[in-house]
Amino acid sequence: MREELTHSIGLLEKAYITLEDGINSAVSDLEKDGVIQRFEYSFELLWKTLKIFLFDQGIICKSPKDCLKSAFKFGLIENDEAFLNMLEDRNIMSHLYSREDSVLIFENIKKSHSINMRNLIQNIKKFSN
């Protein structure tokens, strides 16, 4: 595994741990908003790590959506729709803020996005060895 990928996976794992910590302790709206920020950061690291991994496999992707679709074709992702929903939630919160959206997206992060993210991190590590 090349150094850039190893470094990126390490950053992604650390970000994911802080995301999980936030999910498990968030009670107030402010804390939940912090979880959403951690999710956005973790998602950015996730797709950029995917980009590096896929490049090492001879697959070039340039956007988050392109990388997610390529990861699905490669076999890193089982349910591409779940990751496209994750991308959509990240885009919603990056460009427009509403209390209603933040409540819904926090629940999505807690119930599915974090689990899917964890599984993808594990798959990247497994395929990288």
Domain ranges of the chain: 3-128
Residue 13 has pLDDT above 70, yes or no: yes
| pTM tops 0.85, yes or no | yes
> pLDDT at position 1, please?
57
Residue 2 has pLDDT above 90, yes or no: no
Could you say which architecture CATH assigns to the domain 3-128? Answer: Up-down Bundle (1.20)
Average pLDDT of 100-125? 96
> pLDDT at position 7, please?
97
> pLDDT at position 93, please?
86
Torsion of CA 77, 81, 85, 88, to 10 degrees: 100
Residue 97 has pLDDT above 80, yes or no: no
Q: What percent of the chain has pLDDT over 90?
A: 89
The structure tokens listed for 112 are: 């599915």
> pLDDT at position 66, please?
97
Q: Which residue matches tokens 């990247």?
A: 124
As a whole number of angstroms, the distance between CA 111 and CA 113 comes to: 7
Three-state DSSP at 111 gives helix
Question: What H or E segment, with its residue span, contains residue 101?
Answer: helix 99-108
Average pLDDT of 89-111? 90
Q: What are phi and psi of 73, to 5 degrees?
A: -65, -35
Residue 27 has pLDDT above 90, yes or no: yes
